[in-house]
Amino acid sequence: MTTSLDAFRVRITGGVQGVGYRAWARGQALQLGLTGWVRNEADGSVSALIIGSQGATGSMLERFWSGPAGSSVSDVKAEEATLDEVPSDFRIVR
The active-site residue out of 40, 63, 91, 94 is 40
Give the separation between CA 81 and CA 62, rounded to whole angstroms.
Answer: 18
The active-site residue out of 22, 26, 63, 94 is 22
22 is catalytic: yes
40 is catalytic: yes
Residues marked active site are found at: 22, 40
